[in-house]
Amino acid sequence: MVRFVEVLAVVLVAIAMALTLAHALELPGKLRLDKEQYFAVQTIYYPGFTIGGIAEILGILVLALLLYLTPFGGTRFLWTLSAFLLLVAVHAIYWVFTHPVNNFWLRDVELSGLGSSFFSAFAPKTEAGDWESLRDVWEYSHVARAALAMLSLIAITIAVSSGNAPGEPGQG
């Protein structure tokens, strides 16, 4: 059971890292776009990245479960705790920086169903302003998210590769 939770945690954190890294790797090219091109490109992310973003929430929940299953103290616990806290930080950056800008980008887009509910949730309205400043917030928040998600993936990989799972007999 614990091995399954460990593998699931690695997979979910890897998905979260992959999505944020994809955004970060686009940065140099997207900074060359003018306003109209940039807004046109932004619409390609929905709903795919929104659906994939579920991995962040599930990853946080699975890492919390793994923390519960891991004996307190020791390196395995500390690496798992680090992975958890880093993924929580990834998610927090989304809600504080990225989500308000997403709402601004999507203010004139007709969304339905789950997308409409998601983008209206916890959505402080961002005031119209310099589109390049909003772009920079969106783009660089993804760079920060990618770096933290990569560190989370490294931490959980170290945790699960550091010997036997809690409760397993033998040496690893």
pLDDT, tens digit (0-9, with 9 covering 90-100), for 102-153: 777 766 656 555 555 555 555 555 555 678 888 899 999 999 999 999 999 9
Q: For the chain, what percent of residues have pLDDT higher than 90?
A: 56
Q: What is the pLDDT of residue 7?
A: 96
Q: Which of 1, 11, 4 is nearest to 157 (CA)?
A: 11
Kindly report the CA angle at 168 between 163 and 172, in degrees rounded to 5? 25
Tokens representing residue 17 in the block:
């890292």
Measure the CA dihedral 135/18/52/165, to 10°: -140
Answer with the residue of higher pLDDT: 48 or 76: 76
Residue 166, classified by CB atoms within 10 Å of its CB into exposed (0-12), middle (13-18) or buried (19+), is middle
